[in-house]
Structure 1
């Protein structure tokens, strides 16, 4: 793995105990500066030099060319940095909602989160949605206000806006560092607990009142500290930091500070992380205690394909110690499999460096494990209780694809299998009704990245085609049909005549076959052949190529020849009779209808209802699951939902949640059918 080694490998301090580790995920929307903050922290810690921070326009955490092209992250990156003798594993997931699976992986792998909000627009709807997601996981959170040098409001006003937008309780959000300004720009900050100044603090205002307020907030959440505080005792810094650590872990206090793209605030943030964030032994959430000597329990967080070493698994170790040249159990949805670790590597963005082992709490790269999937548990013992699998975002945007050439077709299946292993949010479907190959993605950006990976990582070119909804046909009214097959070409000929009556059935009744032949006009041994021919034609359809359903077909008459009649002849005659009946009546199209569930902020409810109305939706009603939010239930034709995830995100600025499930088939309106088929019905 030498060709992938990071230039900082020689600077890495070995980790020998969980207490040395802080696993921290950066959470925030696209554009707030998360990746810039990660790079600034790495620069401040000496993990990269100024010249190495950005190479050819690509940051050290970029994995793929498309990240540089789109100027946004599409994959979870890990940047380990060392500060004050502590290893900080920074997990930087994408901020775009299409890559929410990467965020969820980062939230589960981390022990705390740095929630980044932009000073220029701190409480957008997507930001509130991200806060709710992080809160549901229960991960301790600090708030970092980025772009403070561009702020239109004061730091205190920004924190007040965040407090109100996130629905936080009294004293829950507190500044622990107060920014100092010189000539309108941030020049330094003051640590409220220690009084220590960072940068230029000559113009620092009096912070005694702010410190007193913070001390009261910390003491008020700890009975012991409160007793000492009320007794008039001067609380020492060590006691206050212990109280702060306790409140952060319990999520009863969220510390806040500010940063700028120029690097202001990075040292303060690193001090906060290393001094007050929980180490793996104080992890909040499921999983065993972080004991390096315990039996191994680890979980696969991310899988990437590498042109040099193949599949690379990013693994979080929860208990035990992971070592090279050992066999382990892979516990997944399909049961237990045995695999072997050959080497271990420490991650640094897309680069790696060899490491001798990974203790409980650490995050490490394991190459060449062949049987793993993201969310699988790695253990010594197959009887180990697997780590919980976090939920994946629903893939609701269908993209029809076809191989561009025969050479691409030969490689497509294997490439898609690899992609779905590396990206569990991607769902692959070979539609049994339309026979279309469909990639179900979480959004347009996800689709674009998936197609780029097919092309550049796997060398497979595909063409995108419109998604086909599986329609059905049915008879609009009863009709009769005559099928005649009479051929003589020397030797045995082909002879079969069938007369059928076809009548529509209620929706969902399927197909019925009946016999009303008298006098043996069709011999009994050929009646199954008639039914088989009808069923074959039902699957092929009679007008638009869609399957024919909800009909009763009755065999009423026919003729046979003692020599020339056969099973094949009666199958053909039955199919001809069914098509002849279809030519004497109207063939109606049936379309699938989905049960749709949308959770949307009240601000956007009107726009969502109007949009659904334009999609021929039948709105069943709305509920209020929580203040300010509406739960909308509707029945919508699936043909109207192909682009709905994209349009809904645009309507609601990415704040709505959407789920769909197939409900039933219904008659398609004639006007819609006319647009679809060119004439509305086929003869």
Structure 2
């Protein structure tokens, strides 16, 4: 925006916009102040993708909405999006508006892909928050707003689809103000001609942008009736802008009846928007183009450049701070990989936000990763050479010679790079503080369709895990199942699709809950291992007593042998045999825990006894004791903390009781959120990520930690 804008706060892009649609370095002169990184944020179905294509069409990148580039729409950059008809991954779409390069980052709005949303917010400096005029504000929309709030993201609210027959702009605007606060105020009001929305009325300038003849607006002064209708909204807007101004005299001057200069209002508005304290609202229609010119002007004029946003904290590889870096093309090279994909021809394709310095083709770089060992991502440090530096346009890549601080580029054919890694100079390796990665909490068990497919699955799993830090891969040592921990059902579908696209034939199965066994009552038994096969035989007899211990006590082995009936050098062999049998289980094949075993007697032979014989006797004695006692199955129980809006607390608590959950407390989590603490058996949590989302309209989240094993009730469902 600028004071010279023709619509009060919007200057329509001229013909040069289309001519410069390639966003080449010659347009914006490679200067960070001429770059805008803008994330499009909104729930699934809000109209983000259509709005993106409308902006691309307005700047000449697309000739029409839904244009096809290389077999996909230009905003599609993941094959899974085409298959599932929803945005599941971050994509970057650069456009040029006069001398400004705008990198549009289309983020997924589905809760399963919050990891890509956070990556988009990490790479962006501002956000267009898209709300549908048809669907309005729901709990999922509020959750997305909270994600932006969490990182202090400057944003504007775009009310999309205003020309839909069921659209209600006024009601949705009011809902946004109620949900997001009083700093959400409209800059424009829709103008209707013969019942249809034909343009926008600028509240500050009183100018109408008329889209009745096409996507390029024609400007005219508002009529007297139009000005009168907008007077109350205009007054509220001006008061909201003045409230954010650093000039404390403005409010008194305004209330005394003084007309505040348009340039002063716009300057204060731009400052407030860039600082993230004021959120202007713009109505739009992607189909007719209404509002696209205003959006382009808002992004270039009011949104902050990379120079105005802090660089994330940076350390050396030893963890020592290197001080606060700035967005300086001449500074030390620091970039971060915000997304990685695997291309069959190009290998790994990495989207990189450059925070400092300049990345050049054919330069030597250092790649450092924090690592997420529990998700299959180990800490790593390696040197690579940048041989292919690209500018991304969705799935299309165009070679460029360099990428400066503040810009976003794509690197291809690097062997060790993963999402979240830091790119820095080989001679000065650095590490950017990682962003908060959501925890995957829905397990999916998979196996190859055949033994050969198991080998292919293992190889492909590494590639899939490398590009998706929200995925955790685990080989359960007890059940021997390969478990994919996903964010939810949609995320699991995408992961499985990616594996199948690499030629893996796989099948899913029920997740087995790793149970334990224990003795429910004391027991005694005799283990007799005597074999004669001609020549040297095997002879070992041991007598044991078993008693249960309290939960979590573990295992105790006590030697109560008297008189040397079991020679001392065989005592350890008996204990080893008992321990090995405990790992194998004595009833259902699960490890035995929380018992004390006393060795009280036995016999040995001077020739035929051996370590192996007494190990076998010890194992046999434990099995015999189990057959004489009642064995209790134990199931894992987790401590769970659930965060939900207050309106859903009752439903969540009722559901917990049906899951054999034991509530341990509730507390306020700030705002309208409540945290519920509970202890829940793991068997009841296998699909809880999905079911909690359904209970809370997509807003409930939870975290879990293993607590202990408890006896399984006789009628409880157990996946074993």
Q: Show the counterpart of 1:59.
A: 73
> 1: CA distance between counterparts of 2:94 and 2:512?
46
1:638 paired residue number: 682
Contact between 1:8 and 1:48, CA under 8 Å: does it hold in 2? no
Residue-by-residue CA offset, 1:286-344 (whole Å, 9 max, x unaligned): 36322212221211111111111101110011121111011122232236432221121
What secondary structure sits across from 1:245 in the alignment?
A: helix
Structure 1 contact 57–68 (Cα < 8 Å) conserved: no
Does 2:163 correspond to 1:179?
A: no
**Alpha-carbon contact 1:138-1:285 (below 8 Å) kept:** no
1:272: how far off?
A: 1.2
Q: What is the deviation of 1:261?
A: 3.3
Q: What's the RMSD between the two structures over aligned residues?
A: 2.3
Aligned equivalent of 1:309, options 340, 343, 346 = 346
Q: What is the distance in 1 between the residues matched to 2:276 and 2:511? A: 45
How far is 1:382 from its partner? 6.3
- Cα distance in 2 for residues equivalent to 1:434 and 1:597: 26
Q: In the TM superposition, what is the alpha-carbon distance from 1:484 to its structure 2 partner?
A: 1.6
Measure how far apart 1:421 and its partner are: 1.3
Match of 2:416 among 349, 371, 374: 371
402-411 or 24-33: bigger deviation? 402-411
- Report 1:658-669 matches (<5 A): 658-669=702-713
Q: How much does 1:226 deviate?
A: 4.5
* Cα distance in structure 1, aligned partners of 2:248 and 2:98: 27
Query: What is the deviation of 1:27?
Result: 0.5
Q: Which residue of 2 aligns with 1:415?
A: 460
> Which region of structure 1 is more displaced relative to structure 2, 291-300 or 233-242?
233-242
Q: Per the alignment, do residues 447 and 316 of structure 1 end up closer, same or farther by CA in structure 2, a change over 3 Å counting? A: same
* Aligned equivalents of 2:427, 2:623: Cα separation in 1: 59
TM-score by length of 1: 0.93
Between the aligned partners of 1:312 and 1:58, the Cα distance in structure 2 is 17
Bigger drift between 94-103 and 430-439 goes to 430-439
d(CA) in 1 for partners of 2:115, 2:124: 14
Structure 1 stretches lacking a partner, 5+ long? 1-6, 678-683
Q: State the SS of the aligned residue for 1:389.
A: coil
1:646 shift after superposition? 0.8
Q: 1:316 to 1:117 in 2, by over 3 A?
A: same
Which residue in 1 is equivalent to 2:154? 140
**124-133 vs 260-269, which moves further:** 260-269
| Partner Cα distance (1:553, 1:151) in 2 | 76
| Partner residue, 1:293 | 330
Q: Distance in 2 between matches of 1:601 and 1:46?
A: 43
Q: 1-side partners of 2:356 and 2:68: how far apart?
A: 35
Among candidates 344, 365, 379, match of residue 328 of structure 1: 365
d(CA) in 2 for partners of 1:164, 1:507:
50
Match of 2:265 in 1: 240
Shift in CA distance, 227/621, structure 1 to aligned 2, threshold 3 Å: closer
Residues of 2 paired with 1:516 and 1:430: CA distance?
A: 40
The residue matched to 2:485 in structure 1 has which SS?
A: strand
> In the TM superposition, what whole-angstrom CA distance separates every residue of 1:87-129 from its partner, at most 9, and x where no partner exists?
1100001110000000000011101000001112221011111
Question: Which residue number in structure 2 is paired with residue 219 of structure 1?
Answer: 242
Matched, 1:130 2:167: no
- What's the CA shift string for 1:234-253, capped at 9, x where partnerless? 54444333222101012221
Equivalent residue in structure 2 for 1:404, among 449, 454, 468: 449
Deviating more after overlay: 503-512 vs 50-59: 50-59
Tell me how far apart the structure 1 counterparts of residues 368 and 593 of structure 2 sit (CA, whole Å). Answer: 44
Q: Which runs of 5 or more structure 2 residues have no equivalent in the other structure?
A: 1-17, 213-218, 314-324, 371-378
| CA shift digits 1:469-506 (9 cap, x unpaired) | 11110011111112222222211122222221111111
Instruction: Provide the rounded CA distance (Å) in 2 between the counterparts of 1:503 and 1:245.
Output: 74
* Residues in 2 aligned to 1:12 and 1:165: alpha-carbon distance in whole angstroms: 36
- For each residue in 1:497-540, what CA deviation from the matched residue of structure 2 results, as whole angstroms up to 9, or x when unmatched? 22211111111111111122232222222221111111110100
Kept in 2, the 8 Å contact 1:84–1:274? The answer is no
Counterpart of 1:532 in structure 2 is: 576
Query: Which residue, out of 200, 207, 210, partners 1:189?
Result: 200
Indicate yes or no: 2:554 matched with 1:510.
yes
Match of 1:278 among 282, 301, 304: 304
1:43–1:53 CA contact under 8 A, matched in 2:
no
Compared with structure 1, are the counterparts of its residues 566 and 214 closer, same or farther at alpha carbon in structure 2 (3 Å cutoff)?
Answer: same
